[in-house]
Structure 1
Amino acid sequence: MVLHLEEIVVDCHDFSALGHWWAEALGWPIVGEYDGELELQQADGSHPTLLFLNVPEPKTIKNRLHLDFVPDDQAAEVERLVALGARRVDIGQGEKSWVVLADPEGNEFCVLSARG
């Protein structure tokens, strides 16, 4: 038996606002926006997709699962994401080669060092 990762689901308060933010942050097109959900997919149609769903409860603690991204230029990418509305967060990581950010609803993600 083989499992294939289809989508990553992000619980949120405002699926449309957060989904549109991530679409701009990643440059991924929106492939579906329905009642209470929005789905993004890479332009080449590959998986996994990102699916944003409304939930009634707010985020209250550090994420148990987060996304890591590898940019061409870490400093420039962090600056761009912060300008879009991300913020730097301290989750106890200390001094590391990656930068921890949070999206507008507080979901943590990391911008790693560029791979050479």
Structure 2
Amino acid sequence: MEDDRVWSHEKALWTGSAEQFAAALDESCLMVVPAPPYVLEGRDAIESIAATPRWAEVTLAHGCIVRPQDGLIVAAYEAYAKRPDATEMRAWCTSTWRRIAHDDWRLVQHQQMHAADGPLRSG
């Protein structure tokens, strides 16, 4: 998967429908989010996302993509998201994508950590 497509998939995790999100998730996906219950696995992640208002817009910044082996992509980035009711979120995120078949990628890991104000890196 090319980098532009990785970022398109990541944006869809935030702004796409709950059905799109469910279709992207691997059945063994593990997620860590900054709200209870914090750790979500497989079907629990899909149900949690379905019950959560989707984000209207998201901007991804400071992105980094690595490919540790064929068929595995890890992305890290900062997300700025906004809901229609003006709720905002800024978070550092990681996602791991696994190729199931040609041109068929599934999310196996996603983590969000609230971003603190300040420099990107110390020192």
Higher percent of residues as strand: 2
Q: Same fold (TM over 0.5)?
A: no
